[in-house]
Structure 1
Amino acid sequence: MAAARHPAFYARWHVADTLDGRFDMVALHTYLILDRLKGAEPEFRQALVDEFFRDMDRSLRELGVGDVSVGKKVRKMAEVFYGRVAAYDAALAGEGGALVAAISRNVFPDDPQPDGAAQIADYLTDQRSHLALQDSVAIAQGQVSFKEPK
């Protein structure tokens, strides 16, 4: 959560400082951990996803969303999250510009030429390399570090 709230995303890279923008940054960092732990720590990976959605549920309730609507909103957030996971996986397996395009589409849907998409794509690839050097068991025990955005 702390990494997703870094001011650089919002101040320098122009991610909207809104519920949607914050969701995208938390989703991106959750994706990075899930991506790093592919094939390892399946129980932790599931627990991380479960906690992600429990946090979304809590956040919606704190914002005053009624009990009846929370479930529907969380289901929609799950669809969006898994769509992002699929988009980032496909982009990372594809051509160089695919990741920038996926981030543009997902993080900056209303901006045809977002300033921050390339920086976030660079950040994501840099973080993947950084996380690859960290032990998967340590990550599953909560000992994970993210580099500061450049």
Structure 2
Amino acid sequence: MVFGFFKRRQREQAAYALYGALVAQSRQPEFYLHLGIADTVDGRFDMIALHAALVIRRVQGQPDDGPPTAQFLFDIMFADMDRNLREMGVGDLSVGKHVKRMAKAYYGRAAAYEEGLQGDEETLIAALTRNLYRKSEPEPWQVAAIAAYVRRSAELLAQQDYQALGQGTMTFAPLAGFLAPPAAGRPSDPQE
């Protein structure tokens, strides 16, 4: 029983580290300044949901510790969403409804991103356009850049050591290579 507690505590600590790292990545100003993501509550939720989907996808693939750690990460994320809604002044009686809608939105986005990552570029671009840009009309290069960033980040996360991930050490694709329309002769998906 004691050993189970320590294992649970390690998973929970790993999930907190993962959440902190994915939120930090989601808040990179380049997403909002250059890639056309709305710098709003919804836009920030969408970026956190995107990065959480990528990280949870990676963590769930890890035998033994992966699924429970992914569940802790999900729980931490939505506890944080609950806390943020309360800080924004959403009434106590309606917070639960808001969080439930956000969780449903997350699951839909995660499934769409997974389908896009498993499928072709058009499927991923459609999912990203629908979920990140909503009713706005981004430049085609912005959506293509986000799609290339997502695909490259998924590849990098898949290659990373699970123990390092548990410490919150994650490497996403560097944003610098995705911030401008591709020039003639320049690849649209920079590799490290």
Tell whether the structures are fold-level matches, with TM greater than 0.5: yes
> Counterpart of 2:172 in structure 1: which amino acid?
F
| 2:33 match | 11
Measured after TM superposition, the shift of residue 106 of structure 1 is 0.7
In structure 2, C-alpha distance between the alignment counterparts of 1:134 and 1:75, rounded to whole Å: 32
| 2:81 match | 56
Greater Cα radius of gyration, structure 1 or 2 = 2
Which is further off, 139-148 or 93-102?
139-148
| 1:107 match | 132
Aligned CA distance change for structure 1 residues 146 and 92 (closer, same or farther; 3 Å): closer
After superposition, give the CA deviation of every residue in 1:16-44 in whole Å (9 maximum; x if it has no partner): 00000000101111111111123311121
Gaps of 5+ in 2: 1-22, 178-192
Matches within 5 A, 1:29-48: 29-40=51-62, 41-48=66-73
Gaps of 5+ in 1: none
Measured after TM superposition, the shift of residue 51 of structure 1 is 0.7
Q: TM-score, normalising length from structure 1?
A: 0.93
> Counterpart of 2:157 in structure 1: which amino acid?
L
In structure 2, C-alpha distance between the alignment counterparts of 1:87 and 1:29, rounded to whole Å: 13
Measured after TM superposition, the shift of residue 138 of structure 1 is 2.2
Q: TM-score, normalising length from structure 2?
A: 0.74
Measured after TM superposition, the shift of residue 140 of structure 1 is 2.4
> Counterpart of 2:92 in structure 1: which amino acid?
D
Equivalent residue for 1:117, pick from 143, 158, 168: 143
Matches within 5 A, 1:111-150: 111=136, 113-115=137-139, 116-149=142-175, 150=177
